């Protein structure tokens, strides 16, 4: 089977990720720096540092989203969940105008958001990534139908 992309391939919102991680580091450093500059006790300073670390952690969770496609299927990593799908489970890959991210229509009738492809900052990149994932899913559906008929 000839695919446009070599597998495995990882889709993630690169610019958004860079912004979130950079903001997380800056916020952590500013809050920790303020804690060191103020005349605070050790417990109060520690609470500032822990607050900064928690904010960084929350932004890092937002930045971890991705979609990984390989020969056997797709792994969707969202903010608080990770789900592995076989190619046969993916009926359709959707990114309609105004959608905040790609939605995968599944064979069980449900839809799974795939936050790893989102048009927020890099719209053209998200469209290209959605089209690439759609082409991969369609190619596997066509191959599956040919096997079923042959």
What digits encode the pLDDT tens for the residues 76-93? 999 999 999 999 999 999
* Per-residue model confidence (pLDDT) at position 121: 85
pLDDT tops 90 at residue 20: yes
Short-list 101, 129, 130, CA closest to 114: 101
The per-residue pLDDT for range 24-46, each reduced to its tens digit, is 999 999 999 999 999 999 999 99
Identify the sign of the CA torsion 128, 130, 134, 136: positive
Q: Can you give the pTM of this predicted structure?
A: 0.83
């Amino acid at each position: 089977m000839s695919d446009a992309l070599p597998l495995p391939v990882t889709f993630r919102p690169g610019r958004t990720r860079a912004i979130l991680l950079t903001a997380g580091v800056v916020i952590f450093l500013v809050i920790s720096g303020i804690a060191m500059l103020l005349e605070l006790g050790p417990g109060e300073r520690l609470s500032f540092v822990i607050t900064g670390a928690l904010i960084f952690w929350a932004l890092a969770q937002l930045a971890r989203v991705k979609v990984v496609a390989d020969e056997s299927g797709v792994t969707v990593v969202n903010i608080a969940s990770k789900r592995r799908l076989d190619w046969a489970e993916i009926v359709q890959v959707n990114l309609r105008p105004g959608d905040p991210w790609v939605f995968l229509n599944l064979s069980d009738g449900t839809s799974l958001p795939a936050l790893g492809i989102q048009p927020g900052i890099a719209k053209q990149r998200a469209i290209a990534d959605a089209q690439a994932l759609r082409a991969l899913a369609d190619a596997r559906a066509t191959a599956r139908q040919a096997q079923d008929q042959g």
